Amino acid sequence: MKRQAGVTLLELLIVVAIIGLITAGASRALMFGLDTERRLRDDTRREDRIASFERQVSDLVQQAFLSSTANDPNTYFIATFSEGQQGLQPGGNAQGPGADDLVFTAVGGRLRSDVTEETGDFEGANERFGPQGGMTEIELSTVGFDAPAEAQGLFVREQRPADGDPSQGGFQRVLNPDVETIQFEFFDGGEWRMEWDSRSTEANRLPAAVRMRYKLRDEEEERTLTIRLPHSDVTPLNPVTQGGAG
């Protein structure tokens, strides 16, 4: 008697098991691919945010300006240590940590969008945002003075117009809440200095460049941003050779 052609239960179970294995492998590969895509997308967005932050800092610092009048008390470029704060220790630099508080007078800055979009009357805008125009005072620091108590990160303080007092005034906002520590260094035409005070230099000059080292809260390695100051006349051929800028 001939055996009838067909699929036995055992063969069917084997086929189902093989299909299951293939489906499981494809699902894992799909999930891995989706997870990789998500992580790459998140990394790209993060780097875009950091690049935007660095552009904002560069735009602010590049506005630094000093009067051509020697010892003019109304313009300044001052970098010091915040009280009770410590900057990052630059690798291999025996001079110690750089300043973590930078305040300077600036020109050419753009008005904030919330100022330009204000639809109220002049008196109301002036009360909300303060006077606009003229020489601006800008401070970059990780210490907040009028920000919410829970706020942290890198703060920027702006006062328009500058009042000649680098210690106070204006309005402060958080520029980047993820900045944990920061330090500034300054190129004097020959070397990088840890501090700077234009009021103590005979030439009353800006550094040629500012190097900002900073660390974000969820990163182990510090990042470095170097900013050339367009209003500075300091170069390797025309260095700062006198004064006490550091």
Residue 204 domain flag: yes
Total domains, the chain? 1
Residue 193 domain flag: yes
Cβ atoms of 229 and 202 closer than 8 Å: no
**Where is 27: in which H helix or E strand?**
helix 9-61
Distance CA 108, CA 136 (A): 9
pLDDT at residue 179, as a whole number? 95
Summarised one tens digit per residue, pLDDT across range 160-214 is 888 888 888 888 899 999 999 999 999 999 999 998 999 875 557 899 999 999 9
What is the extent of the structural domain holding 176?
A: 50-228
**Other beta carbons less than 10 A from residue 223's beta carbon:** 14
Please report which confidence band the pLDDT of residue 72 belongs to, taking 50, 70 and 90 as the band edges: confident
Residue 55 domain flag: yes
Residue 102's closest CA among 175, 9, 24, 43?
A: 175
Residue 17 domain flag: no
Instruction: For residues 217-226, give the mean pLDDT.
Output: 93
**Other beta carbons less than 10 A from residue 119's beta carbon:** 6
pLDDT at residue 5, as a whole number? 59
Q: Which residue has the tokens 């993060």?
A: 46
List all residues 6 or more positions away from 32 whose beta carbon is below 8 Å from its beta carbon: none
Q: pTM above the 0.85 mark?
A: no
Residue type, 69: T
Residue 208 domain flag: yes
pLDDT above 60: residue 229: yes
Instruction: Report helix, strand or coil for 218.
Output: coil
Please report which confidence band the pLDDT of residue 97 belongs to, taking 50, 70 and 90 as the band edges: low
List all residues 6 or more positions away from 114 whose beta carbon is below 8 Å from its beta carbon: 129
pLDDT at residue 64, as a whole number? 95
Please report which confidence band the pLDDT of residue 245 belongs to, taking 50, 70 and 90 as the band edges: very low
**Other beta carbons less than 10 A from residue 171's beta carbon:** 15
Distance CA 185, CA 213 (A): 8
Residue 117 domain flag: yes
Residue 110 domain flag: yes
Distance CA 189, CA 241 (A): 9
Residue 143 domain flag: yes
Instruction: For residues 25-40, give the mean pLDDT.
Output: 81
